[in-house]
Structure 1
Amino acid sequence: MFSPNRGFAEMHCMSGHSNFVSCVCIIPPSDLYPRGLIATGGNDHNICIFTADNPAPLYILKGHKNTVCSLSSGKFGTLLSGSWDTAAKVWLNDRCMMTLQGHTAAIWAVKILPEQGLMLTGSADKTIKLWKAGRCERTFTGHEDCVRGLAILSEMEFLSCANDASVRRWQISGECLQVYYGHTNYIYSISVFPQSKDFVTTGEDRSLRIWKHGECAQTIRLPAQSVWCCCVLDNGDIVVGASDGIIRVFTQSLERTASAEEIQAFENELSQASIDPKTGDLGDINADDLPGREHLKDPGTRDGQTRLIKDNGKVEAYQWSVSEGRWIKIGDVVGSSGATQQTSGKVLFEGKEYDYVFTIDVNENGPSYKLPYNITDDPWLTAYNFLQKNDLNPMFLDQVAKFIMDNTKGQTLLSTSAQFSDPFTGAGRYVPGSSSGSSTIPATDPFTGAGRYVPGSASNAVAPVGGVDPYTGMGAYQSAAAKVENIYFPKKDAVTFDQANPTQILGKLKELNGSATEEHKLTEDDLINLEKLLSATCNTSAETPTAQQLQTLRRAVNWPEDIVFPALDILRLSVRHPTANENFFSEKDHVQFIVLLLKFLNPKGKQANQLLALRTFCNCFVSQAGQKLMMEQRDEIMTQAIEMKSANNKNIHIALATLTLNYAVCLHKVNNIEGKAQCLSVIGTVMEVVQDLEAVFRLLVALGTLISDDTNAVQLAKSLGVDSQIKKYASVSEPAKVKECCRFVLNLL
């Protein structure tokens, strides 16, 4: 054990939370803060950020909706937080960059992996999730109860511990390599030794356990039931915090070992502890069958071995110490035969402990609902919150409140030392007996025959008019000998898909109309309307689209999936016209317009429809009304659009990259870091799968536009590992614009 007088002294007491603090994390030193920062998460839903020399917070991060119970720091000042609200959040300085959603219960453990952009979350829903650039890449299943801790072994491996009393070693690829058993109750915390695969764990069985080469090499008992947390220091010393409110440090170093008096005081404290066999690893005990003190004359067979004896009517527990070659008393056993102390259980629900979890049937044929309740709660408020959460009729308020009161009559608070509560569940220590325990589509042309209309076949890129670069408005690229200037970003205007062959589009529309069912068949007048609309929106006539023409188009784009693509192509062209976009983007109809297009972004749908839906979204950015609508619906559009990355079709990838670029153009004009974070996440995800260099180029322009003149966005891009993803494009020979744009982006990063 470490001496308290050798190296540790309280500098100051930091305060800033309005309720208990549940987790602490160090943010590494930076140019701005050379001593680093300290982050704390609390029951008040907040994260406080402190400097090392000031007891008051530097700033407070707000955004979680419940207790913040886990924190992890990464490169460039990135902070990852987990909460009872089932969400994890990525923070950079004083801003929330993105929210990771997917777990169904409290997130008790988070870790940022060494490889940039990879993050882990462990949850009370028994799963672990791997996130890359803000998106869930993989879910690890295997634990049989709530995941409580995570520890990183390398870029490819990590450890997890859980309430199922097991530790698991995982590969990032998803494979569980090993399961370690030793603890006999919840495992709360896990920490790895520096430059080693050995680790330590702490749990609800009063123990700190040291694991070497996959085996439990040493067990250290503490005079406290719950050993909440552990941390291995750089020098190999182990720090543990327990439910008795004391932090203890254990060391192998003779220079730092506590004095004989201090060690004896610790052993005396340990020997006077009371052990409830129900919460430990002592099993069923019959005091009458236990041997006497003479049983301690025989040496133990392994470190940490437990032996029970009966002495003067009391049951005592001893643990064998290999290093000292003796039995050390670890406490008096209570609750065995003849004991008077009793414990009563709590029930775990969604990661928190409750006195009761009722099953409520609101009506005979409806579903059942779980209602958690603590006897300190107000039954009326609990009933009200229950009805609100489950969207149930408020008329049941009296009925539910009466049910709670009728089923908790006569119950009083447990007389336990509740002042030391579980920072993860908000309850007292664990009481035993309470826990329950795309397939890709070939990039083939969906249409055949010479001279046939193929949507988007005219060009895979935005065709320059008269040799003008569509991104810069300037002439063609000059010789490599000339000085290269950044003409690529920040991009100021949206990129649209304008090329079309009206004759072919109309011809295909008429052909498919001939084979359409009576329900969908267009009249001759309808076809004339669409022909005039196409002419007006392609600028081949001076006419303005009429309401009747646009109404006909609305009917046509609701054709069956197999034949709708020519109508979608007309829609793609029409939304560029001021009259048409005013019609489609009006407050009355804009939601239906978005819903219509989103249905075509089904990964299992027709690629022609996917392509044209993406291009239509891109063309919406041509007007202010369209930009406003696209920004309002950004989250839903980008979430579904990103699924198109799995399509093995370069035209779809180019359209997806262009959509991302257009969002970047809009976001560059506003201070919306969450929008930029989402866009950066999409860029990182799509960059991994695209091979077409035109799509890559547009993603690079989008990236450059997002991070131009924004240090927060630069840091976030680096923390997500985007810089390492794009380095390979800095050496691309052709087209030269890819290499040049990439180098300009890397200069910013």
Structure 2
Amino acid sequence: MPFKLSATLAAHSSDVRAVSSPSDTIVLSASRDTTAVSWTRPSPTAPFTQGSVYRAGSRYVNAITYVPSTPDAPQGYVVTGGQDTVINVFPLQSEREEPAYSLLGHTENVCALHATASGVIISGSWDRTARVWKEFKIAYELKGHQQSVWAVLAVDDDTFITGSADKSIKSWNQHKCIRTFTGHTDAVRGLALLPDLGFASCSNDSEIRVWTTEGDVIYTLSGHTSFVYSLSVLPNGDIVSGGEDRSVRVWRDGECAQVIVHPAISVWAVSSMPNGDIVSGCSDGVVRVFSSSEERWVPADELKKYDDLIASQALPTQEVGDVKKSDLPGLEALSSPGKKPGEVKMVRNGDKVEAHQWDSASSSWQKVGDVVDAVGSGRKQLYEGKEYDYVFDVDIQDGVPPLKLPYNANENPYSAAQRFLNSNDMPMTYLDQVAKFIEQNTQAVNLSNNEFVDPYTGASRYTASASSVPTGGSMSYADPFTGGSRYTPGSTQPPAPASVLQVAKTSVLPVRTFLSFKQANVPAMHGKLYQLDDAFRHEISTSSLALYPEEIKLLDEALTFLTLATGTPTDMPPASITFAHIETVVQVLERWPSSQRFPVIDLARLLSGYCPEAYAGPNQATLFFRALLNAAEWNEPWQAPIQKPRETNTLLALRALANGLSEDSPLGGGVWVSEILPQVANAPYEMLNKSHRVTLATLLFNLSCVRLKAPINAETGKLHVALLLRILKTETADAETVYRAAVALGNTLSSSKVQNNTLPPDIAGEIRGAVQAASVRFKEERIQVVVEEIKGFM
């Protein structure tokens, strides 16, 4: 029999992030509403009722598991973990509000929990460790992953498996790592034990892999169309998975046997009951139970109500395919059976386009939603190679080129707003403002209530609240290379003024306002830098790399200054940074290996932007910026693929150079520009990724702003134009890079006109050809406007 709805458990007011079902009569759920809830029933055929509500703090509860009964807790324990970093242990069905035990040790969000039948607990955290707890005391700390540990599995009391955002899986015997499994191409999100076979893993790469304990992949299960968050195994050996594509899927003998669609975007968690029923927890805040036993199904009218709820959902065309409405068949197409479970077919029903999914269990097509804004309606716009219903030009500040904000009618405004802020490295404190801007300028269609971007993965849901937005003007993000300290080196735009977010008017050249990359989480940067130093210091082979006392003193002074500068930009502290601080940064860069340089280069990025007077002496800027390029291995051979450390260091070095050109720059930009720009030009453009390219375009844009103030060295000016033309001729994918380069070229031509510099005929012809080619490749109005203005200067 197919799985059908058996129970709907509604009590949570936000996403249900974790579920556990240790018996046929107990279900446990954990939610972002800061609570965990137990659901109980007197017998497997009776309805569930809400039991105890467990509150241990005011932050998200993201993980839950169950520890069997002990004399102190005859019904067992509920174990929860979340953003407050504490693992709390509550007696099940107890009247006490305080936990019986609080397990301390993790330093960041606890996002995974599992326990053995004997009560051994394993936890996974953002702090890149897993911890094993015996008798509610720490037994082992499992270190080895390079990023957050998002999945844990206790095989027995001494054998454990962990999965991480570093894309790897590790098996452990007590505290020793005995094997590393690689194969997933994105973060590992869930693990499940397959008795007598091995285990299964799921990932953000949308795949499920089944492994032997020796590290061999037995088979791969493909079918989910987005992130797969959670796994469980039914008593008969079938695998159950839940993910970002609104579905729970049942896998039997290597094939998808059933797709259970949910009326919510994210199925965060799944669990199996001993009787074979499936429990799911979703982004709509509801826990659901599905059963393959007809006697446990809800009545027929409730089944129909649930099916109608699924059918009433509005689906974006991206989820179901891209075809013209006029090419779609009518309802008669549903008379032909599907080829596999989960197959989606779009059909015309009058003026509507419906999506139907093949349910092999019932051998019928089930409507799963109405398709919103099917292709062919004439409203789709391209941005970065993808189609959107709207692509807004957004002004964030007078005189600054507008930014692109793409949005789909079926998308939640907060999801689009968070993506926009992340893409432009703007603070999350503007999330509500951007979301309201979208709502005011569109007629949004919501798929479900309160869908936000996930602060853990950055990929699905996020809510701006006191608990999720740090104070002090900086945000905590994931480190770009190791994931440590939740720290992203490098940000771009300054905070948007609170009242100027609006649909942009036509841009007019010249644009005189410099762009910078000055936002940062300095305390996290500080922690990462000294974490690396501590690792060097405690290894004999690397102790010579450790910081010297005088270096620590000067770095501390620099970090203290930058903490104040980034936290209170309207009340800048007195300048206290000198070239001695710059020299210290250069010395450390020359000594530390490539893979550990990134926090030091990131520190240099901020010093470049906030302390231009510190390197204003003769040749000081040249020494400083040459050291940054050397640290990024700029003059080494460029071979694909670029290794991750070099990729990160290159980005940060480019951002530091861009920060070196500002309103405070000397006329002509300074001697360093003439010496450093030729080195920058040596990098093969095709080897640079999107972030590199847009940063390079920003550097060249800032140099064009310098040229608006005063002429620069003639040879440097020629190279500047040559680099801009290289971008306009070569770039085929990123409109933002082309736009910044085009504006920079327009600024340059504007300055030449003011300074009565006539372009040589060959250069003028090359410019015409380059901007014409860019306007053909990129049809965005803002680019077309700038191209026309450039032609006007010719």
Give the TM-score band, short-chain normalised: 0.3 to 0.5
With a CA cutoff of 8 Å and minimum separation of 6, indicate the structure with the bigger relative contact order.
Answer: 1
TM-score normalised per structure 1: 0.48
TM-score normalised per structure 2: 0.45
